[in-house]
Chain A
Amino acid sequence: MSDAFVKLSGLTLGYGRTVAVPALDLSIREGELIALLGPSGCGKTTTMRAIAGLLDPSDGTIEIDGRDVTRVPANKRGIGLVFQSYALFPHLSAHENVAFGLRLQKLPAEEIRARTEEGLATVGLTGFGKRKPAEMSGGQQQRVALARSLVMRPKVLLLDEPLSNLDARLRLEMRTELQRVQKETGITMVFVTHDQAEALALADRIVLMREGRIEQLGTPADLYARPETAFAAEFMGFENIFRTEGAAVVSDKGRLPLAAVPQSPILAWRPDAVTVGEGPHEGRVAAASFAGAHREYVIDSALGPVKADAAIELPEVPLGGTIRFDLPLATARGLAA
């Protein structure tokens, strides 16, 4: 990609002898909001720390805005990082926290004051400047951390699990806030998360990582609708994933016939893609829960458990009761082996 703003080439990262990320290639466009998504230990945080300069790569290069910064120390790289723990300086007020980096640049006092006020205003904390971090809520502390990075006008802003420490209401608020700040400032942002819902809601593009490698890269819509591997599908909420053999799906427990011979070696269905109440197969209800607009069943079938969402209009089947269902080829997602 020629318009890469951040470009990782053959980036190899490790701690001691263990290699956490082998030869990663990734291009990020200017102004993009990218999510590094994956389970813990997939190398997403390691990659982020390497971009920030907190971890030296054992091989490969990092380019930012056309310049090779692989050997540039972290304090000269011009990259912001909002830590998962916020990492505010507890002995300084919110205002002093935000002004910290500007003071190091020895800017005129008036400019420092103006930019600090502006930074606090950007995150909606005007008037909170005098408070110490310990006197602020988690959400407010995170905004201070965000402002502290933003006032430095970084080329790239990195965010480590930006929503994971917030409660559900604040999470939504902060999500909106991050999107707004990103649109207003046009800053390139990379955030790390293990929560696919967060990545889907926030990112322009998602980099799904697994064991230090990119499993799949695409827009949220892409990844949600068209995962390419079983790993990606599972991460995107395809809870029924089975191998195929001829005109049947099989598991360790047994097999169920399909209407035709599928083209893919693996098929996956989201719970809402499973037909309930009719169909050629039969199972017992192992678990059922009411979820408002639908009912969630776990059906004990010849394949083992099948998760299925049933429309609320359908009659409720009690625990242990027999239920008919189908795994239709039309709603299945075919995956590579």
Chain B
Amino acid sequence: MRHLATWAILGLTLTFLIGPFLIIILAGASDTEYLAFPPQGLTLGWYFKVFTVESFRASFVLSMALAVFGTLAALLLGVPAAYALNRYDLPGAETLRTVVAAPIIVPGIIVGLALLRYMVVPTGVTVTAALFMAHTALVLPYAVRVVSSSMNNLRADMEEAAVLLGCTRLQAFLKVVLPNIRGGVLAAFILGFVTSFNQVPVSLFLSGPGVRTLPIDMLAYMEITFDPSVAALSALLAFMSLAIVFAAERLLGFSRYV
């Protein structure tokens, strides 16, 4: 009896985790002019059509650029922050940790609205710049947290040893600390990339003429056209995320860091 219950729970869990994924893959392959599940007839046409939609191509490039450069910027800020929080007994370190984690805690809708109302509108910052800053801020908590955890095992006396062998503090960081937290930095990059790429609520407010991230563009597309290409694109994106995480797991044991 208990055995049966265990299987039932496992089955339900898997259904809810993997079910939606299977549904969009199949819905994207439906040979109909509208989104349908179960699919009626099978075709790969919608999967090819995705690549011909001009706005998808533009928003894909924007989303890619945001995810790559936003995450890089977050690491540029986050790695030194993680280092400082780890190494020095800073006054207000706890406060700093909380502030850095704020973008995870504050609902994205509020962040997006606030950025639009109090940054874009009054200062005239371009939407693209605002998006870049917002994505950097959203990814920062992950960068600090993941890099911090990989730095925890790194003893401070290794850097002192490097200094006594002739390094400056900066050289010691670059030659001794960085190579040993490489895995953590890469893991933070991937986590940040995926987070930024799939981000909806903040980006929802930060779109303008011709400036839309891919998920927002997909929402807009669906309001007008209800064909299965949105499902096909979702499936392709899911495959991309999966491939990245899978490669990361194989290459550096991603799950150790998150």
Contact = CB atoms under 8 A, between A and B. Distances in A.
A152 B163 CA distance: 13
A300 to B, nearest CB: 47
Contacts of A75: 163-168
Contact of B161 (A53, A76, A81): A81
Contacts of A105: 166
Contact of A85 (B157, B168, B175, B179): B157
A259 interface: no
A80 B162 CA distance: 11
A87 B165 contact: no
Given A54-B160, A87-B160, A91-B180, A101 B165 contact: yes
A276 interface: no
Contacts of A89: 158, 161-162, 176, 179-180
A90 interface: yes
Main secondary structure of the interface of B (DSSP, over half): helix
A36 interface: no
B164 A81 contact: yes
A74 B157 CA distance: 13
A104 interface: yes
A13 interface: no
Contacts of A80: 164
Given A89-B176, A90-B180, A91-B179, A101 B166 contact: yes
B165 A152 contact: yes
A333 interface: no
A77 B163 CA distance: 10
Contacts, number: 59
A6 to B, nearest CB: 16
A87 B180 contact: no
Nearest to B153: A90
A85 B160 CA distance: 12
Contacts of B2: none
A155 interface: no
Contact of B158 (A52, A81, A87, A152): A87
A152 B162 CA distance: 12
Interface in B181-216: none
Nearest to A105: B166
A104 B157 contact: no
**Category for how many chain A residues contact B:** 20 to 34
A231 interface: no
A83 interface: yes
A64 B130 CA distance: 57
A79 interface: yes
B204 to A, nearest CB: 43
Contacts of A224: none
A75 B160 CA distance: 9
A100 interface: yes
A87 B161 CA distance: 7
A37 B155 CA distance: 25
Interface in B143-178: 155, 157-158, 160-168, 171, 175-176
**Category for how many chain B residues contact A:** 10 to 19
Contacts of A54: 160, 163-164
Residue in B166, B171, B176 with the greatest tally of chain A CB atoms within 10 Å: B166
B167 A85 contact: no
A107 B164 CA distance: 17
A148 B180 contact: no
A211 B168 CA distance: 33
A104 B164 contact: no
Contact of A104 (B155, B158, B165, B180): B165
A265 B176 CA distance: 56
Interface in A127-159: 145, 148-149, 152
Contacts of B155: 85, 87
Contacts of B161: 81, 83, 87-89, 145, 148
Contacts of B162: 89, 100
A50 to B, nearest CB: 13
B252 to A, nearest CB: 13
Nearest to A158: B164
Interface in A263-307: none
A184 B179 CA distance: 35
A313 B213 CA distance: 93
B166 A52 contact: no
B79 to A, nearest CB: 17
A179 to B, nearest CB: 23
A145 B165 CA distance: 11
A79 B157 CA distance: 15
Interface in A83-106: 83, 85, 87-91, 100-101, 104-105
25 contacts: A52-B164, A54-B160, A54-B163, A54-B164, A74-B160, A74-B164, A75-B167, A80-B164, A81-B160, A83-B157, A85-B155, A85-B157, A87-B155, A87-B158, A87-B160, A90-B180, A100-B162, A100-B165, A101-B166, A104-B165, A104-B166, A105-B166, A148-B161, A149-B164, A152-B166
Interface of A: 52-54, 74-77, 79-81, 83, 85, 87-91, 100-101, 104-105, 145, 148-149, 152
Given A75-B164, A76-B166, 16 more contacts: A54-B163, A74-B160, A75-B165, A79-B164, A81-B164, A83-B157, A87-B161, A89-B158, A89-B161, A89-B180, A91-B179, A100-B165, A101-B166, A148-B165, A149-B164, A152-B166
For the complex of A and B, 4 pairs with smallest distance between CB atoms: A101-B165, A87-B161, A104-B166, A87-B157
